[in-house]
C-alpha cells in the first residue's frame, strides 16, 4: 500500500505536467523547465520593480518624476531597431547576453543612489538594455515551443514566475521598511544575472533569425501597409496602453498621499495582485490556445478598466483590493497575449520585424502617455475624472480589436 502511494507521489509531477501542457518532446520539455527555473529566479527582480514608483515617491519624487520613470520604461522600446541592427552584425546571442548582464547588473549601483534623480538615471540603463532583448526572446519562444502548445507552455513558465513573486512580494515590503531600498534593489540585479546564466544554455541553441532581404530592410514599416491585422492591433494596443500609462503615475499619489500606505501595506496588496497574476497565467495559456491572442486581448482590455475604478472612491487601503486583483489578471493577460499575438501575426519569417514595430509604437506611446495624467491634474482635472477617462480608453481598445479579421 505504502509502495503504491510512493509511486503515485513520484509520478504526480509528470501527471500534472501532462495535464497542464500535454505530452512534450524531450527537447521541448527540457527547454520549458530551463525557462521555468530562470523565470522563478528572475521573479525577485520583477517583484522589486513593482515597488519602484512607491520608492521614488517616498524619496521625494514629484508626479512628473514618476511619470518620467514610466516614460523611461519605454525608452528602450524606441531603440529596438538599433538592437536588431547590432544583432545582424554582431550576432543576436552576443547582443542579448551583453544587454541582459549589463542592464540587470546596473541595479548594483542603486546601493550608491542618494535620491530620485540618481535612481532614475540607473533605471534608464536597465530599461534601455532590457528592452533590447525582446525580439530575441520572442524569436526563442517561436523556435523552442510548438505552436499548438505554445500558449500553455508560456502560461506554465509564468505560473512559476508569479508563484515566486507571490512569496517574495510581502518579504520585499518588509525589507524596504526595515532596511531600505539600498539593500533591496541590488538583490534585483543579482537575481537577474543568475536567471540569465540559467537560461543561457537553452538560448544558445536558438539559431540566428533569417536575414531579411535588402528591400525589406529599406522599408521596415511595410507590414503596416500590407497587413491590416497588424495595423488594427496596434490601434487597439495604443488605446489600451494609454489607459494604463496615463493612470499609472497617479496611483502612488493615492497610495501614499491619500491613503498613507506603508511598504508593508503595499506588499500585502501586491500579494493579492500576484495571486491573481498566478491565476491568470495558470488558466490563460489554455484560453490562448483555444480562443487566440486577439480575442483574449479584448478580455484583458475590459478587465483593465476595473483597475482604475477603485481609485476613484478609495478612502482606505483595503478598498484597493479589487484594483490589485484586476491588475494581476491584466499583467498575466497582457504579457501572454502580446507575445502570442505577435507570433501569430508575423508568421515564421517576420517575428523580429513585427516585434520591433510593436516595440517602437509602444515606446512612442510610453514616452507620451505617462505625462498626460500630471498635465491633466495641472489643468484642474480631478483624479477621479482622469481615472474614468483611462477606463474609457481601455474599453475603446477592446472595441477596436473587434475589427481585426480572423485570417490574413
pLDDT band at 24, cuts 50/70/90? low
pLDDT of residue 5: 44
Report the topology of domain 27-205+221-401: Growth Hormone; Chain: A; (1.20.1250)
Contact predicate 60/114, CB 8 Å: no
With cell 517616498, the residue in question is 58
pLDDT tens digits, residue range 27-49? 888 888 888 899 999 989 999 99
Given a cut of 80, whether residue 297 has pLDDT beyond it is: yes
* Grid coordinates of 381: 482635472
pLDDT band at 256, cuts 50/70/90? confident
Q: Among 238-242, 292-296, 347-351, which stretch is predicted with the lowest mean pLDDT?
A: 347-351
Spatial distance between the Cα atoms of 187 and 185, rounded to a whole number of angstroms: 5
pLDDT band at 283, cuts 50/70/90? confident
Given a cut of 50, whether residue 12 has pLDDT beyond it is: no
Q: Give me the percent of the chain exceeding a pLDDT of 70.
A: 88
Spatial distance between the Cα atoms of 259 and 177, rounded to a whole number of angstroms: 17
Most confident option among 17-31, 289-303, 342-356, 390-404:
390-404
Contact predicate 77/366, CB 8 Å: yes
pLDDT of residue 105: 94
pLDDT tens digits, residue range 139-195? 788 788 887 777 778 777 888 888 888 888 889 889 988 888 899 999 999 999 999
What's the average model confidence in pLDDT over 342-369?
77
Q: Give me the percent of the chain exceeding a pLDDT of 90.
A: 21
Q: Provide the 8-state DSSP code for 318.
A: G
pLDDT band at 402, cuts 50/70/90? confident
Domain ranges of the chain: 27-205+221-401
Amino acid at each position: 500500500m505504502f509502495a503504491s502511494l510512493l509511486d503515485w507521489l513520484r509520478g504526480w509531477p509528470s501527471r500534472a505536467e501532462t495535464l497542464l501542457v500535454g505530452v512534450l518532446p524531450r527537447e521541448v520539455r527540457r527547454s520549458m523547465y530551463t525557462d521555468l527555473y530562470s523565470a522563478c529566479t528572475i521573479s525577485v527582480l520583477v517583484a522589486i520593480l513593482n515597488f519602484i514608483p512607491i520608492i521614488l515617491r517616498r524619496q521625494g519624487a514629484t508626479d512628473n518624476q514618476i511619470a518620467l520613470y514610466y516614460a523611461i520604461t519605454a525608452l528602450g522600446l524606441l531603440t529596438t531597431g538599433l538592437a536588431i541592427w547590432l544583432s545582424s552584425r554582431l550576432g543576436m546571442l552576443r547582443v542579448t547576453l551583453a544587454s541582459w548582464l549589463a542592464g540587470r547588473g546596473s541595479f548594483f549601483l542603486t546601493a550608491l543612489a542618494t535620491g530620485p534623480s540618481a535612481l532614475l538615471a540607473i533605471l534608464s540603463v536597465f530599461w534601455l538594455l532590457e528592452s533590447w532583448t525582446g525580439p530575441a526572446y520572442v524569436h526563442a519562444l517561436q523556435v523552442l515551443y510548438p505552436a499548438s502548445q505554445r500558449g500553455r507552455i508560456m502560461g506554465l513558465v509564468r505560473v512559476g514566475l508569479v508563484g515566486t513573486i507571490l512569496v517574495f512580494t510581502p518579504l520585499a515590503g518588509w525589507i524596504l521598511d526595515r532596511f531600505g531600498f539600498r539593500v533591496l534593489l541590488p538583490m534585483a540585479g543579482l537575481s537577474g544575472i543568475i536567471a540569465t546564466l540559467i537560461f543561457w544554455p537553452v538560448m544558445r541553441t536558438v539559431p540566428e533569425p533569417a536575414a531579411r532581404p535588402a528591400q525589406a530592410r529599406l522599408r521596415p514599416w511595410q507590414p503596416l501597409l500590407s497587413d491590416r491585422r497588424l495595423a488594427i492591433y496596434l490601434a487597439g494596443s495604443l488605446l489600451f496602453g494609454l489607459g494604463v500609462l496615463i493612470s499609472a503615475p497617479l496611483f502612488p499619489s493615492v497610495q501614499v498621499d491619500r491613503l498613507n500606505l506603508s511598504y508593508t501595506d503595499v506588499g500585502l496588496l501586491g500579494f493579492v495582485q500576484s495571486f491573481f497574476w498566478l491565476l491568470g497565467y495558470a488558466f490563460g495559456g489554455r484560453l490562448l490556445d483555444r480562443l487566440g491572442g486577439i480575442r483574449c486581448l479584448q478580455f484583458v482590455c475590459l478587465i483593465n478598466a476595473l483597475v482604475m475604478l477603485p481609485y476613484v472612491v478609495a478612502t482606505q487601503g483595503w478598498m484597493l483590493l479589487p484594483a490589485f486583483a484586476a491588475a494581476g489578471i491584466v499583467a498575466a493577460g497582457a504579457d501572454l497575449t502580446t507575445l502570442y499575438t505577435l507570433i501569430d501575426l508575423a508568421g515564421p519569417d517576420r517575428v523580429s520585424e513585427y516585434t520591433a514595430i510593436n516595440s517602437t509604437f509602444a515606446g512612442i506611446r510610453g514616452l507620451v502617455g505617462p505625462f498626460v495624467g500630471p498635465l491633466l491634474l495641472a489643468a484642474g482635472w480631478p483624479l477621479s475624472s482622469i481615472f474614468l477617462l483611462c477606463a474609457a480608453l481601455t474599453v475603446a481598445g477592446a472595441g477596436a480589436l473587434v475589427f481585426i479579421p480572423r485570417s490574413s
